[in-house]
């Protein structure tokens, strides 16, 4: 929520303040290990998994997405 959302006047040239980040996406060369690691931290798999090329995990109100990358990248 920004100042403008709360009815306060905002400078039209000002950069809006960030209220939150709801998702972050990371690339990995080892999807299975990454999924196991984040599950051990308490994240729940919402989509994908150890064998997927894309996995979305959830904790609290946020999401962590993992994208498989080839070894040469």
pTM of the model: 0.73
Rounded-to-integer distance, Cα 48 and Cα 51, Å: 7
pLDDT of residue 71: 85
Residue 64 φ/ψ, nearest 5 degrees: -125, 120
Q: What is the pLDDT of residues 40-61, one digit of tens each?
A: 999 999 999 999 999 999 999 9
pLDDT at 36 exceeding the cut of 90: yes
pLDDT of residue 51: 96
């Amino acid at each position: 929520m920004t100042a403008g959302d709360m009815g306060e006047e905002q400078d039209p040239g000002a950069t809006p303040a960030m209220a939150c980040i709801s998702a972050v996406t990371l690339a990995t060369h080892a999807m299975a290990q990454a999924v196991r690691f984040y599950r051990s931290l308490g994240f729940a798999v919402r989509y994908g998994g150890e064998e997927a090329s894309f996995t979305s995990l959830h904790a609290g109100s946020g999401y962590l997405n993992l994208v498989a990358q080839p070894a040469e990248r």
